[in-house]
Amino acid sequence: MNSKNNPQKNVLITGGTRGIGFEFTKQFLRMGFFVVTASRTPFTSPELQQLKDQYDNRLIIQNLDVSEEESRQKIFEKLIEKINHLDILINNAGIASGNEKFRYRFGELNQVDLCRSLLVNAVAPLLITEKFFPLLAKSTNPIVVNISSNSGSITKKRGNGSTGYGYSSSKAALNMFTKMLSFELKEDKIIVVSFHPGWVKTTMLYCENAPLEARDSVQGMISIIESLELKDSGKFLDWQGNELPW
């Protein structure tokens, strides 16, 4: 990525306390980035605190509830005091269901649960991208990464399965926002992509027995991020670089 005019590369990662978000935080720090990692409970993670002790001058930890406008505004106001541009925005924060404990099935569907899934997984990444547009526009090679899922692929959907109505539909909505933003931000040369990270072993609901380690998934995604060009904007990719159907 071109850093001729911006020698310090900056990245913001939402949902950075655990799982994929934490792995992004760790790997970007090792690459020399200035990293801002944010979540609802960032100071409860001993692993994140260890990273802070190790990379104190290049890691900022912030509280952020992506679903709340006041919280999004607060983190923006704090960061414009710390950085003058943003090279990469990783919209990673997400939930498996609206109540984060189980997924409602047909016959038991819950309006609040469905709406919260859409808010956190789709609407919030769109609004965060809008909020941080002024900093992204100042980068020499700005990239927005939306962490989606192949569960959001309408073409590949073969039934409800275990992913649930809220999760799958919210990821499909996120993919649509990715495509729309790729056109919206083209003149500003901001690349926007969706990633299916694979079925990764994390603490997220139903992911305990997943076959893929977060380390390998994130390493693959970062490798692809580093090679992205403006012509790639609007694509839906997996962690190995394969383009997925909408």
Spatial contact of 73 and 131, defined as CB atoms under 8 Å apart:
yes
Residue 170 domain-assigned (yes or no):
yes
Look up the pTM and report it.
0.92
Q: Is residue 178 part of a domain?
A: yes
205-235 per-position pLDDT tens digit: 555 566 688 999 999 999 999 999 999 999 9
In a domain, 243, yes or no: no
Angle between helices 19-30 and 46-54 (to 10 degrees): 10
Q: Is residue 246 part of a domain?
A: no
Structural domain includes residue 115: yes
- Residue 3 belongs to a domain: no
Domain holding 61: CATH number?
3.40.50.720
- pLDDT at residue 96 in the model: 87
Q: Residue 143: how many CB atoms within 10 A of its CB?
A: 22
In a domain, 152, yes or no: yes
Q: In what order do the strands lie in the sheet with 10-14?
A: 59-63, 34-39, 10-14, 88-91, 143-147, 191-196, 236-238
What pLDDT is stored for residue 105 in this prediction? 85
| Domain membership of residue 198 as a residue range | 10-238
pLDDT value for 244: 97
| Residue 110 falls inside a structural domain | yes
pLDDT of residue 68: 97
Tally the domains of the chain.
Answer: 1
Per-residue model confidence as pLDDT tens digits over 61-103:
999 999 999 999 999 999 999 999 999 999 999 998 887 777 8
Question: CA-CA distances (angstroms) from residue 215 to 6, 36, 40, 167, 193?
Answer: 28, 19, 22, 23, 20
